[in-house]
Structure 1
Amino acid sequence: MLEVDREQVVAYRIAAQGLHRSERDAAKLAVFDLGLQSTQRDTAAIALAARLDGEVTEESFVDDDRFVPAWTHRGAPHFHRAGELPAVTRALVPLGEPDAMARMGWQRRQVEAAGMTATDALFAAARAIRQVVDRPMTKGAVSTEITKIVPPGLSYWCRGCQATHVLEQVMRLAAIHGGARLEAGAFPATLAPVAGRPRLRTTPDAKAATAVVANYLHLHGPATPTEAAGFVGTTAKAVQEMWPSEPAEVRFEGRKRFIPAADVDLLSNPPEPDLVRLLPPWDPYLQARDRATLVPEKARQKEVWKILGNPGVVLAGGEVAGTWRTKGTGRKRLDFTFTLLDPLPAAARKAAEAEAERVAKVRGFGDLRVVWG
């Protein structure tokens, strides 16, 4: 069994995620095999800029009809290759009731109290969304209309809005099954019918679900079933039903972990991660569920992954060496503040400032001011 150390694992993931910036075609980037999360405005385009050899702008990415955003993994918004959205939808059909309930995540108790199974709740909401979303509609408008249709147990009184809403996580998980995607670049969040709008599928597709786990192992391996389950939003037991056949076993930090057999050579001898990249909040690299591998110190983990308002990170020489935040002055100047966790040599600082200029261009700012904290 191959035994690897942290440096190998980090270098492997940087290479697997395309951070050596050797690809010019966004559609060929491996991160789209899982989907590119876009939780905050511009984050997806900034993640592309960290990987793509060539200029990236928010407009060019949003207008690229090869990609489509939708609420998918864990109900979070992700960009997917448009042609793969049907397979992604099939992969998100729960394999059974325990899987369906686990995916309800933070609203599991409300679903349990609704007087129906999580599977029934999911597809009741999906049918309501299919009935309502026949044109682009804001998230608020969709919520209002489907709340009138879904069983009462799937809604709640919102004090802040002084209105009754469908459960947020149920709506997010159900949207893709209801044939609804997100409108790229729209604010507030806007749903629209998926092109071709395939019929509602309620039958599980273990093969499609297995592909998600296999892609997680490729991008974030070597990993455990529990870590893969964390990305999917389910339990380790459910992931066993999605587990790829014959992955390679490796030993890392005293534990048996797994990686696709085709990736063993790259893991054994990954290229040196001698690069500087600025990663946005929720970048694919930061989606690994073993955060201690990326940032060993717990205090530093709290600086990178916050309850609210994650910063971007500075990746230098394979390490998360700092964080960054920005503040725009109108649409003219972007103020860029770095907060270092480790000292950076002058060459790395210069490279980070060049990456900051790249981020500013992505966001459409012509002027940049950098502050080192």
Structure 2
Amino acid sequence: MTNRSTAIPQLSWSDVCGRRLDRHGLSAPVRDGTPADAVAAMCGAHAQVLSAAEVSIGLRVAGATRADVADALWRERSLVKTFGPRGTVHLLPTRELPLWTGALSAIPPSSTTMPADARLTPDQTDEVIAAVAAALADAELTIDELSTEVVARTSPWAADPVVPAFGGRWPRWRQAMHLAAHRGALCFGPNRGRKVTYTSPRRWLPGLQPAPAADALAGLVRRYLHAYGPATPQQFAQWLSAPRRWATELFDSLASELEEVEVDGSPAWVRAGDTEPPPTPPHGVQLLPYFDAYTVGCHPRNRLFPGPAAQRALAGGQAGNFPVLLIDGTVAGVWHQRRSRRSLDVTVEPLTPLTVAERRELDDRVERLGQILEEKPQLTIGTVLVGGHA
């Protein structure tokens, strides 16, 4: 995996933070970019909480608001809401759907605790995905409507209530829902009142065809290392929720494109030649929302969440469950927002006292948060009493 034709470049943790902040548009928001550009740069915006995705994107695009993200998603259709890395809801750039579907559908399936007699067979999985694609080709369906269509287009086994769910059991076919998105058969449509709908991503990108697996996976590794490198195959596997051995073999297959570096003495990889430190040290205060890509994708965790930050801002070692205060690229606290009647109450809990300059910049960050969410903000420095997001 290593190109040892020259001495191994050395990078400090400060160098790594500076590179990542620059490439995420967090050192300074991009002035001529679009929401789709920002999402491409961070390799997808986690959208389990859509308002959090709006903030993630708005932080990275100068002057952008939640309305701009909504326009990109539902009017321009330059963004698509679908199941992305780790099978979680993401916004992805529409133009990159061939790469994402090609790569995500090529990841080996993870182990399952589902009893053998409850699982879908490979043939049943293919049948379900074909049914989903046909049902959604020109429609926006709620989950119940989609379920009715899938069962009608397959067989009664698809309706068997065997999948454990909140307060009950889902029908068997829903085991293939994320895979249907990964193969380009399903994405989210606009809400119908309070109900979620699903539709076909080909309504965003006509003629969508997943890219060949090898090309797509290589492209995804390149994008990941640009945004989150230096990184290891194990960290890439964690980001995708993929098998570690598979990720190591993938990095090995791309050895000619990768270069080993050392970060404070620990080995990691970047794209070959991409070893320069940033022009300036990491700097600035940021308020990153739930599941922000920087928080979730950056490693090692013990450097990103140093000391008390690991206890306060990680949930059982999992990143993203708390909105975080970021100072100079490293987690330095948590925060929470409460919205009511067009007001935005923001509580920030720093883990160490803020300098005068940091407090001044925090005021600016809260003001920017209000601009993104189109509400008037009010800042309180104090203890955050709300627990982590599930």
State if a TM-score over 0.5 links the two structures.
yes
Given the alignment of the two structures, is residue 74 of structure 1 paired with residue 81 of structure 2, yes or no?
no
Shift of 1:198: 4.3
Query: Which of 106, 109, 114 matches 1:110?
Result: 114
Structure 2 equivalent of residue 175 of structure 1: 181
Structure 2 equivalent of residue 190 of structure 1: 197
Structure 1 equivalent of residue 5 of structure 2: none
CA distance in structure 2 between the partners assigned to 1:358 and 1:322 by the alignment: 18
Shift of 1:62: 1.3
SS state at 1:39 partner:
coil
Structure 1 equivalent of residue 283 of structure 2: 274
Given the alignment of the two structures, is residue 235 of structure 1 paired with residue 247 of structure 2, yes or no?
no
Q: Determine if contact 1:137/1:191 at 8 Å carries over to the other structure.
A: yes
Write the letter of the residue equivalent to 1:190: T
Write the letter of the residue equivalent to 2:185: G
The answer to which of 211-220 and 299-308 deviates more is 299-308
Write the letter of the residue equivalent to 1:10: C
Q: Determine if contact 2:337/2:344 at 8 Å carries over to the other structure.
A: yes
Q: Determine if contact 2:187/2:198 at 8 Å carries over to the other structure.
A: yes
Shift of 1:175: 2.4
CA distance in structure 2 between the partners assigned to 1:157 and 1:236 by the alignment: 27
User: Closer, same or farther in 2 for the Cα pair 1:157/1:79, shift >3 Å?
Assistant: closer
User: Closer, same or farther in 2 for the Cα pair 1:28/1:204, shift >3 Å?
Assistant: closer
Structure 2 equivalent of residue 336 of structure 1: 346
Query: Which of 309, 315, 326 matches 1:306?
Result: 315
TM-superposition CA deviations, 1:269-312 (whole Å, max 9, x none): 44222211111111111122532231132x52242233698221
Structure 2 equivalent of residue 37 of structure 1: 46
Structure 2 equivalent of residue 354 of structure 1: 364
TM-superposition CA deviations, 1:294-342 (whole Å, max 9, x none): 1132x52242233698221111223212111011113x21111111112
Shift of 1:227: 0.7
Query: Which of 355, 358, 369 matches 2:378?
Result: 369
Structure 2 equivalent of residue 14 of structure 1: 21
Shift of 1:48: 1.8
Write the letter of the residue equivalent to 1:177: R
Identity %: 25
Structure 1 equivalent of residue 11 of structure 2: 4
- Give ranges in structure 2 of 5+ residues lacking alignment: 1-7, 383-390
Q: Determine if contact 1:128/1:178 at 8 Å carries over to the other structure.
A: no
Write the letter of the residue equivalent to 1:358: R
Write the letter of the residue equivalent to 2:282: P
Q: Determine if contact 2:287/2:324 at 8 Å carries over to the other structure.
A: yes
SS state at 2:114 partner:
helix
SS state at 2:338 partner:
strand
Structure 2 equivalent of residue 292 of structure 1: 302
TM-score, structure 1 as length reference:
0.84
TM-score, structure 2 as length reference:
0.81
User: Closer, same or farther in 2 for the Cα pair 1:73/1:247, shift >3 Å?
Assistant: same
Shift of 1:69: 1.6
CA distance in structure 1 between the partners assigned to 2:324 and 2:175 by the alignment: 28
Shift of 1:85: 1.0
CA distance in structure 2 between the partners assigned to 1:305 and 1:143 by the alignment: 36
CA distance in structure 1 between the partners assigned to 2:173 and 2:346 by the alignment: 37
Write the letter of the residue equivalent to 1:12: R
The answer to which of 310-319 and 336-345 deviates more is 310-319
Write the letter of the residue equivalent to 1:11: G
Structure 2 equivalent of residue 128 of structure 1: 131
Write the letter of the residue equivalent to 1:40: V
Q: Determine if contact 1:115/1:153 at 8 Å carries over to the other structure.
A: no
Q: Determine if contact 2:309/2:331 at 8 Å carries over to the other structure.
A: no
CA distance in structure 1 between the partners assigned to 2:13 and 2:165 by the alignment: 47
SS state at 1:50 partner:
helix
Q: Determine if contact 2:158/2:171 at 8 Å carries over to the other structure.
A: no
Shift of 1:132: 2.5
